[in-house]
Amino acid sequence: MADMLPKLFFEHFTYTASFSFIAEKNGELLGFLIGFLSQTHRDEAYIHFVGIHIE
């Protein structure tokens, strides 16, 4: 799914400003979240992409 993320997330948000989280259970991927912290509003963040596994 990396091709669905804009390249800017990998070029401009490579340090603490960007984040990604994954949820796993027994080694199986259940979901993920990708976003970045606001540089203007330090207590806010932008969630860009969320995915969940549905059976």
* 30 pLDDT more than 70: yes
Query: Which has the higher per-residue pLDDT, 13 or 37?
Result: 37
Give the Cα separation of 32 and 9 in Å (integer).
15
Question: What is the pLDDT, as a whole number, of residue 1?
Answer: 58
Question: Has this prediction a pTM greater than 0.85?
Answer: no
- pLDDT for 37-53, tens place per residue? 887 888 888 888 899 99
Average pLDDT over residues 14-40: 83
Q: Which two tokens stand for residue 1?
A: 């799914």
Grade residue 34 by pLDDT with cuts at 50, 70 and 90: confident
Overall size of the chain counted in residues:
55
